Structure 1
Amino acid sequence: MSIQTRRAFMPEEIINQIKPNILLVDDEKDFAQAMSTLLSAEGFQVSLAHSGTEALSVFDRNQFDLIVTDLKMPIMDGIELVRQVRKLNPNQPIVIVTGFPGQLTPWNRRLNETEEDVLELGSLSYLVKPFQPKRLIEVVKSAIEKNKTRPRKTIQEVQIRNLKAEKGGVNWVSKIAQKTLEENAESIDGLMAVGLADTSGRTLAQVNPAGIAPEHYCGRFAIIMSIMREIARETGSARIIQTLVESESSWNLAHFIGTSNYYLCIVAARKAPLGNLRTVIRKLAERFEKIVT
């Protein structure tokens, strides 16, 4: 049983008696020791690491209420440490320490371009050197307190954002979409085909046991897609989720239509219950909404 799991089963009164555990990361050993002394005097439990690599190793074996890390470190800097930590725990609160305030703006920009979730998950605070001991204590206590009420994000949501940042363009859409379709295909009664396409009619992902040509069930609804986007613009809505079920001679067709230039098509056997079709498409729509927006 992990440390996190054991702690989850502890009575609340016992948890409240546990001193907050802080991981302090700085390649300047004397400065790190000075901060450790200050925090220990305030009743915090402090673990030291003098590199990003060492910090990850310690973090992987322990649970911390807060990580306080320097921004500029050799080999693995604060940016990379935040990325790696958030892969293990997307809600981990972190305080970034830097002696150069001017670095924060380009650092934020770099994070926004490559790791959107870093600024959205957990607590990310800043502490500029030099600082008074009182300021260090204030920032640490504030970060720990804020994290208690901050909404949690799932690791799955972080993975979607990470893949989105790493791949870019339609590649990440195709990869996640294909996996999503494969995971949900069995829940569609009488499935003949399911696919995700863009407005040009290009199929990005599909599960097609009946061998139906994608252009037959996706491409022919480009006009409907266009109309729905016009409605979205006129109403000021950022996106529209619409389910259409149409009867054909041998199958039912359902669509998730969004204003993000992608749409989902499900083809099921004519005898398949429409209730199941609607349920599944709404489930997929919720998932694809996170992917394509």
Structure 2
Amino acid sequence: MDGSTLQSPQQKNHSTLLKFILIGFSDVPNLQEFLFGVFLIIYIIIVMSNSFIIIITRTDPSLQTPMYFFLGNFSFSEICYVSVILPRLLTSLYRQDRSISIIACAIQMYLFLVLGATECLILTVMAYDRYVAICNPLLYPLIMNNSFCILLATGCWVFGVPVHIGFTYWIFSLPFCGSNQLDHFFCDVLPVVNLACGDTLLLEVVIYVIALLVVTIPFMLILGSYVKIISTILKLPSATGRAKAFSTCSSHLMVVALFFGSCIITYLRPKSSYSAVTDKILSLFYTIVTPLFNPIIYCLRNKDVTIALKKFLLISFML
């Protein structure tokens, strides 16, 4: 007897499932061209604005400090982060082809998770940098020396690489024996796991644990740093000094609130409250909206960056 005839219907479906169909925004067919235009403009703005920040933090003499070194790293991670998602989304909207192979889906998820972890850690390191600068100003040059800054940045970039290799492999080793309709605009963890067959309880526990390690713990460390920072600022005798200290921290706090808030709600809310529509809206915040506003927030709230950017643009136009 042929071995294929002994396979159950679920096994046959699993063996032939080679791609997912990303539903994305297909429920609004009349807005496809509009959405393509909006997301294209957003992508261009994100890449250009973050590129400007990278250039000025590398070339302007007044920005050669640890704070702007980490800001440059953060801007580069933002470009990589959105480039994992938006070009694929733009291609789907333009060609109206929403299929994605299992391998391409796994690669997209892996890069998304690694770069997301990198952003969480860089934001945490930036909070630590502000803590040392404001709470221990005399020791700041000694603690935040060049070698230590490079070590911290390297750790942020490589931490998630080994962790998410095994995690992503585990997810895509699951049997997908039902629908291949992925109700999302990219290969996010929860929508893919929801399509898997069999018992996923252990994997869901691991998802919560990783979310705690990568999102919640860094967020708590940032909050702890800022509690000490704010208490120190309030003790400063000069109103000018307090205003300057608050201005250097407020932009970072706004970015933290936007990014971590949407991530925590997405990955740590109960499964019973899961909704594909809500998930897509929240995902838009931490994958597209936050990277769009981050450079604007840093430029508007940080006088040093604003001055350096004006100088750079003036020189560029004169050449």
Q: TM-score, with normalisation over the residues of structure 1?
A: 0.28
Computing the radius of gyration from Cα coordinates, the structure with the larger value is 1
Q: Greater relative contact order (Cα 8 A, min sep 6): structure 1 or 2? A: 2
Structure with the larger strand share: 1
